[in-house]
Amino acid sequence: MGNPHPMPGRRTPRPENALQLLTKGYGWLPDRRRAAVGRTVGARLGGLPVTAIEGPAAARFLYDEDHVRRAHAIPEPVQGTLFGKGAVHTLDGDEHRVRKSMFIALLMREDGIASLVRQATDAWDEAVDGWAGRPQIVLMDEAATVIAGAVCRWAGVPVTDDEVPGVARDLTAMVDGFATGGPRHWRARRARGRREAWLGQLVDDVRTGRTTVPAGSAVEVVAQHRDAAGEQLDPRIAAVELLNIIRPTTAVAWFLAFSGHALARWPENRKRLASGDDAFAEAWAHEVRRFYPFAPFIGGRAPREVEWDGARIPRNSMVLLDLYGQNHDAEIWGDPYAFRPERFLGRDIGEFELVPQGAGDPRTNHRCPGEQLTVALLAALATRLAQLDVAMPEQDLTIALHRIPARPASGVVLQVRSSVRQG
């Protein structure tokens, strides 16, 4: 394929321009790739070059800090809503590795994952009794409330039962509003402002002894963490990083809503998922994360002129890894637009193959440290979802690919007929 940037611009793209990319939706890069007949496509934003790459080798290329760095790459509107300013996502080198080690220690321990999954399944079981007494529920909202309550308690964030729905609404608003300039965006900013102030105060109180939280809890670990220079995190940054634990965990509600969609669309899977077959439930979690659109792409800037797949990538220009595109690459997945959980049964997943949460080694690069937790939580809650005795009223289950983040339009409305689990 030819060089997508025959005449690279000399100016530096403003990161804000990258927001324009997010308004184009999930189909944009795959469509351009089909037109270009290759895995690497060039695009221009405000007249400046962006290179979008895809495939396991491309992912390996992007995760090398010699080729792509994260600092100054994430648009302000995304930091102001989704990640928070000064978040681990924006760091490189030693600073990144020291901050990241805090997340790895908290999120990649089997006992920690198991205890959070237990708290979430208990909360789900308790909620189901209430759902059965109501005419109907919106699965996405209820799942967010169940998970938000469980993850706050697991993390050591004190919340009362009455506070949990409001916390869940704010956490989902931060995810829902990062890729739009409209009212959802301003809702997300307000939600972030409120919750950073709340958790910043908690960190302060823990440090001064006004509040105590369980030893080893996320709140304690983040409050006491020291950065690469040996300093404690500013309370606002500590709040940002606590939100980077409780917000994305709550976002697993999107995958529950997608699971509800998949069960409605391909009901032949219900019995096996409901049966408690752990291997199938895990395969289900992988297929939901592969098949449905959620995180669209990741990226950074080239610290110097680099070359990939015959394309010259100018210094400082943006390089994107098309996550949605790679998860639908026929060379990796064969029949990628078929929803088939069995494709993951007995399959070893390569480190750079399945990329809904990034690629490579999360201990040393930016890959999501919450991926094992996501898979475990989704497998457990999707199993319970399949066990519900439900009817689905008329509703709009359309998933619009131009809306980032995508979601079933109705949020998946269920009439829960009985709280007794169907095996």
User: Which stretches of the chain bind ligand HEM, using CB under 6 A?
Assistant: 88-89, 100, 103, 107, 244-245, 248-249, 251-252, 294-295, 298, 356-358, 366-370, 373-374
| Dist CA 211 CA 202 (whole Å) | 8
The nearer residue to ligand HEM, 151 or 390, going by C-beta atoms, is 151
The nearer residue to ligand HEM, 71 or 132, going by C-beta atoms, is 71
Residue nearest to ligand HEM (CB): 370
The nearer residue to ligand HEM, 251 or 416, going by C-beta atoms, is 251
The type of residue at 242 is L
Shortest Å distance, C-beta 149 to ligand HEM:
15
Shortest Å distance, C-beta 418 to ligand HEM:
29
Shortest Å distance, C-beta 73 to ligand HEM:
10
Q: Using the Cα atoms of residue 306, residue 2, residue 21 and residue 359 in order, give the sign of their dihedral.
A: negative
The nearer residue to ligand HEM, 26 or 294, going by C-beta atoms, is 294
- 368 labelled ligand-binding: yes
- Any idea which residue has 């100054």 for tokens? 72
Q: What 3 state SS string does 294-313 have?
A: CCCEEEEECCCCEEECCEEE
| Dist CA 376 CA 371 (whole Å) | 9
Shortest Å distance, C-beta 373 to ligand HEM:
5
| Dist CA 119 CA 117 (whole Å) | 5
Distances (CA, A) of 49 to 20, 97, 318: 13, 29, 7
HSE-CB of 158 using CA atoms within 13 angstroms: 9
Shortest Å distance, C-beta 251 to ligand HEM:
4
The nearer residue to ligand HEM, 128 or 245, going by C-beta atoms, is 245
Shortest Å distance, C-beta 34 to ligand HEM:
23
Q: What does the angle CA 345 – CA 347 – CA 352 come to, to the nearest 5 degrees?
A: 130
Quickly count: other Cβ atoms within 10 Å of residue 77's Cβ.
Answer: 21
Shortest Å distance, C-beta 235 to ligand HEM:
18
The nearer residue to ligand HEM, 180 or 250, going by C-beta atoms, is 250
The nearer residue to ligand HEM, 51 or 249, going by C-beta atoms, is 249
Distances (CA, A) of 207 to 130, 212, 215, 230, 335: 38, 9, 13, 16, 53
Shortest Å distance, C-beta 249 to ligand HEM:
4
| Pairing verdict, β 413-418 and 137-138 | antiparallel
Shortest Å distance, C-beta 7 to ligand HEM:
29
Shortest Å distance, C-beta 150 to ligand HEM:
12
What is the distance between the terminal CA atoms of the chain, rounded to a whole angstrom? 53
The nearer residue to ligand HEM, 43 or 245, going by C-beta atoms, is 245
The nearer residue to ligand HEM, 40 or 327, going by C-beta atoms, is 327
- Quick one: tokens of 399? 């998933």
The nearer residue to ligand HEM, 8 or 405, going by C-beta atoms, is 405
Residue set of the binding site for heme: 368
Residue set of the binding site: 368
